[in-house]
Amino acid sequence: MSTDTDTDLFSDVDLSWEHLKNRLFLGVIFAASMFGVVMLALLLFDVATDFYVGLTEYNISLVDFFTRDGSRREELSGFRGAIVASIMLMVLVTILSFFVGVGTAIYLEEYAPDNRITRLIEANLANLAGVPSIVYGLLGLAAFVNGIGMGPILLAGAIALALLVMPIIIVSAQEAIRSVPDGVRNGSYATGATKWQTVRRVVLPAAIPGIMTGTILALARAIGETAPLIMVGAIFINRMPYGPFDRFSAMPTTIYNWANEPSQHFIHLAAVGIVVLLAFLFVMNGVAMYIRHKYETEV
Amino acid sequence: MSTKDADQSLITTDVQTGSRDRTDRTHETVVKARNLDVYYGDEQAISGVSMDIPEHEVTAIIGPSGCGKSTFLRSINRMNDQIDVCRVEGDLSFHGKNVYDEDVDPVALRRKVGQVFQKPNPFPKSIYDNVAYGLRIQGKADEVDLDDAVERALRGAALWDEVKDKLDSSGLDLSGGQQQRLCIARAIAPDPEVILMDEPTSALDPVAASKIEDLIDELVEEYTVIIVTHNMQQAARISDQTAVFLTGGELVEFDETATIFEDPDDDRVEDYITGKFG
């Protein structure tokens, strides 16, 4: 009798259809999440093939690629000037956007009263973060290149990119500052600290890994931006820029330029350039992930 | 009622095991409240509280949730200033000076009235930097031997022996009870006069809590301790004076701890202590 109950205990419960639904749904959402991965893999494969063909069939020498500047003649063209221009842009963008961005975030999170003006600023920031990058290029062209007569120089490009990434830096810094628990702020105030001492000695040190991560990711966006640089006039046979007031063509604009050439050699030069640009992006993202991972256990 | 008798005898025993006798000494009043009202927006959290808190004693504030006991504590060092909608009326004086006067800087006040919070809140810094923090921000780091001051504060918080070999490791790596003692060390390092404690043991296990209780017993030799607790046994064990707040932010009775727990004047206090409500 007891064996009867053992075998028949759950026989009235039929869950097979429910389990099937579970598996079906799992399959659908897994396929959805793999979509991005597959597309990225295809893209990388395409770039890698072109890169390989460029190196073998068109005899693009990596040494020449890194040591020569741009040229109208495809076999003399290199990427050095573009790399240097991009690095200079990054440095200038960091200087221009980091302090203003983090300062804004500190003000909004720690000091700003909860009133109409603060809400207006925050709403504006959210909107600015969504403005298409070419609009920042137009702004740079109208206000700096032509408006105050800077001309199509590297500094004008840096200003356009700095404006572009500033909202991203502000929002990520705000999140990092907000994630510092109020308990430690109160602990600081109760020890007799002023507001600035609390911000400077407790909040910022705790938030700095998050701020750094956000800033690096913002810079990774800036280094790949093409449209604003085209608008400020970076379509240019690239040579080495000799300072922020020189003309320039950065990595993405040089790639764009090469890809527009009819010659297959130039197109494969572009493929090699894309590999270099992607390498920069991966390194920057890797550094951001490393910083996040290193500090996330501590706070 | 039999439950009532049982409860009473339990608490009476605890008072006896606490067995400290400082109450016969007369101490100067350090914090004095007169008709203190505190509002959060339109809601009144404290109404008409008047009490004299003596120095070098442990004053416990007990009462049911939402009775305003924490609000009262935060009024003393003006941590309530952090809350925009909070408004204070009446007098609250520290050594005779109304702390809500125009010319009182709350930062200066908090350097004399330290606080330990309910949830341990060490900074994400090393143990050493946590304790040295108060001295550094108050500009005292150059006047004193910092190593010495940190050691003294950690000894004062009964934490030195446990952390002396790892002063450079993060304060967040300590256990909850150690973190709370670290916060006490941080509060006493700049040598305040009064230490406010807002349910300092409610987030801790009983062993860690009893260490903090022992510590409070020692702290009161040098400091005035005002502690908010919802644990009546704890108040009975560690305090010299007990104030009972009841719902509505009203101070119902304030007397020596033994009197409050053995023979309170007010029926509502008796009901609260014996567990009839609250």
- The predicted pLDDT at position A248 comes to 87
How crowded is the C-beta side of A118, counted as CA atoms within 13 Å? 11
The ipTM assigned to this model is 0.86
Range of the domain at A102: 84-251
Measure Cα distances from B211 to B123, B158, B230 in Å: 22, 8, 18
Report the share of chain A in percent with pLDDT over 90.
58
Out of A42-46, B19-23, B127-131, B195-199, which region has the weakest mean confidence (pLDDT)? Answer: B19-23
CA distance A289 to chain B (A): 20
Tokens 């300072």 locate to A243
Residue from B76, B133, B196, B226 whose CB has the most chain A CBs within 10 Å, to mutate: B133
Measure Cα distances from A7 to A13, A15, A17, A19, B228 in Å: 12, 16, 21, 21, 60
| Residue A34 in domain | no
**Contact A176/B at CB under 8 A:** no
| Residue A202 in domain | yes
| Residue A192 in domain | yes
Partners of residue B111 in chain A, C-beta under 8 Å:
191-192
| Residue A166 in domain | yes
- Using DSSP's 3-state secondary structure scheme, residue A247 falls into strand
| Residue A268 in domain | no
What is the pLDDT confidence band of residue A10, given thresholds at 50, 70 and 90?
confident
**Contact A206/B at CB under 8 A:** yes
pLDDT digits (tens, 9 = 90+) for B94-107: 998 999 999 999 99
How high is the mean pLDDT of chain B?
86
What is the pLDDT confidence band of residue A35, given thresholds at 50, 70 and 90?
very high
Say whether A184 and B124 touch across the interface (CB within 8 A): yes
Say whether B121 and A184 touch across the interface (CB within 8 A): yes
Task: Say if residues A213 and A292 touch (Cβ distance below 8 Å).
Answer: yes
How crowded is the C-beta side of B20, counted as CA atoms within 13 Å? 20
- Whether A3 shows a pLDDT value over 70: the answer reads no
Q: With the C-alpha atoms ordered B14, B245, A187, A291, is the resulting torsion angle positive or negative?
A: positive
CA distance B105 to chain A (A): 10
What is the pLDDT confidence band of residue B16, given thresholds at 50, 70 and 90?
very low
**β-strand partners of B62:** B244
Say whether B187 and A191 touch across the interface (CB within 8 A): yes
DSSP string of chain B? -HHHHHHHHHHHHHHHHH----TTS---EEEEEEEEEEEETTEEEEEEEEEEEETTSEEEEE-STTSSHHHHHHHHTTGGGGSTTEEEEEEEEETTEETTSTT--HHHHHHHEEEE-SS----SSBHHHHHHHHHHHTT-TTTS-HHHHHHHHHHHTT-HHHHTT-TTSBGGGS-HHHHHHHHHHHHHTT--SEEEEESTTTTS-HHHHHHHHHHHHHHTTTSEEEEE-S-HHHHHHH-SEEEEEETTTEEEEEEEHHHHHHS-SSHHHHHHHTTS--
- Whether B85 shows a pLDDT value over 50: the answer reads yes
- Whether A72 shows a pLDDT value over 80: the answer reads no
Task: Say if residues B205 and B124 touch (Cβ distance below 8 Å).
Answer: no
- Whether B20 shows a pLDDT value over 70: the answer reads no
From the number of C-beta atoms within 10 Å of its C-beta (0-12, 13-18, 19+), residue A42 rates as exposed
Q: What are the residues whose beta carbons fall under 8 Å from the beta carbon of B113, sequence distance 6 or more? A: B76, B77, B94, B192, B193, B194, B195, B196
Please give the biggest Cα pair distance in chain A.
Answer: 98
pLDDT digits (tens, 9 = 90+) for A190-233: 999 999 999 999 999 999 999 999 999 999 999 999 999 998 88
pLDDT digits (tens, 9 = 90+) for B220-239: 999 999 999 988 899 999 99
Residue of B47, B13, B64, B11 whose CA lies nearest to B276? B64
Mean pLDDT along residues B106-134 = 93
Residue from A114, A191, A200 whose CB has the most chain B CBs within 10 Å, to mutate: A191
- Whether B24 shows a pLDDT value over 60: the answer reads no
How high is the mean pLDDT of chain A?
89
DSSP state for residue A58 in the 8-state scheme: S
Q: Give the residue numbers in B contacting A (CB under 8 Å), as ranges.
A: 77, 79, 82, 84, 107-108, 110-111, 114-115, 117, 119, 121-125, 133-134, 136-138, 170, 172, 183, 186-187, 190
Partners of residue A201 in chain B, C-beta under 8 Å:
133, 136-137
Report the share of chain B in percent with pLDDT over 70.
90
CA distance B133 to chain A (A): 8
What is the pLDDT confidence band of residue A42, given thresholds at 50, 70 and 90?
very high
What is the pLDDT confidence band of residue B25, given thresholds at 50, 70 and 90?
low
- Whether B11 shows a pLDDT value over 70: the answer reads no
Between strands B250-256 and B241-246, the pairing is antiparallel
Question: According to the CATH classification, is domain B2-119+192-273 in 3.40.50.300?
Answer: yes
What is the pLDDT confidence band of residue A69, given thresholds at 50, 70 and 90?
confident
- The predicted pLDDT at position A236 comes to 67
pLDDT digits (tens, 9 = 90+) for A232-263: 887 766 778 888 888 888 999 999 988 888 88
- Whether B6 shows a pLDDT value over 70: the answer reads no
How crowded is the C-beta side of B43, counted as CA atoms within 13 Å? 10
What is the pLDDT confidence band of residue A76, given thresholds at 50, 70 and 90?
confident
The CA-based dihedral angle spanning residues A91, A97, A98, A101, taken in that order and rounded to the nearest 10 degrees: -170
pLDDT digits (tens, 9 = 90+) for B32-73: 999 999 999 889 999 999 999 998 999 999 988 888 899 999
CA separation for the pair A76, A67 (Å, rounded): 10
Residue B192: count other Cβ atoms within 10 Å of its Cβ. Answer: 24
Count how many domains chain A has. Answer: 1
Please give the structure tokens belonging to residue A149.
Answer: 């007569």
Partners of residue A205 in chain B, C-beta under 8 Å:
124-125
Q: For residues A129 and A165, which has the higher predicted lDDT (pLDDT)?
A: A165
- Whether A90 shows a pLDDT value over 90: the answer reads yes
CA separation for the pair B273, A277 (Å, rounded): 72
- The predicted pLDDT at position A185 comes to 94
Q: With the C-alpha atoms ordered A208, A213, A214, A219, is the resulting torsion angle positive or negative?
A: positive
CA angle at residue B8 from B5 to B9, to 5 degrees?
85
What is the pLDDT confidence band of residue A5, given thresholds at 50, 70 and 90?
low
Query: For the stretch B62-98, what's the b/e string if a residue is b when 16 or more beta carbons lie within 10 angstroms of its beta carbon?
Result: bbeeebbbbbbbbbbbbbbbeeeebebebebbbeeee
- The predicted pLDDT at position B204 comes to 85
- Whether B31 shows a pLDDT value over 80: the answer reads yes
Mean pLDDT along residues A286-297 = 82
| Residue A98 in domain | yes
- The predicted pLDDT at position A71 comes to 78
Say whether A206 and B123 touch across the interface (CB within 8 A): yes
- Whether B18 shows a pLDDT value over 70: the answer reads no
Residue B252 phi, psi dihedral angles, 5° rounding? -85, -45
pLDDT digits (tens, 9 = 90+) for B170-194: 999 999 999 999 999 999 999 999 9
Say whether A192 and B137 touch across the interface (CB within 8 A): yes
Query: For the stretch B141-176, what's the b/e string if a residue is b when 16 or more beta carbons lie within 10 angstroms of its beta carbon?
Result: beeeebeebbbbbbebbbbbebbeeebeebbbebee
CATH of the domain at A110: 1.10.3720.10
What is the pLDDT confidence band of residue B8, given thresholds at 50, 70 and 90?
very low
Q: For residues B247 and A5, which has the higher predicted lDDT (pLDDT)?
A: B247
| Residue A89 in domain | yes
Judged by CB atoms within 8 Å, which residues 8-67 of A form the interface with B?
A: none
Tokens 């907000």 locate to A178
Domain boundaries, chain B: 2-119+192-273
Say whether A190 and B77 touch across the interface (CB within 8 A): yes
| Residue A17 in domain | no
- The predicted pLDDT at position A13 comes to 83
**Contact A184/B at CB under 8 A:** yes
Residue of B89, B70, B9 whose CA lies nearest to B196? B70
- Whether B5 shows a pLDDT value over 60: the answer reads no
What is the pLDDT confidence band of residue B10, given thresholds at 50, 70 and 90?
very low
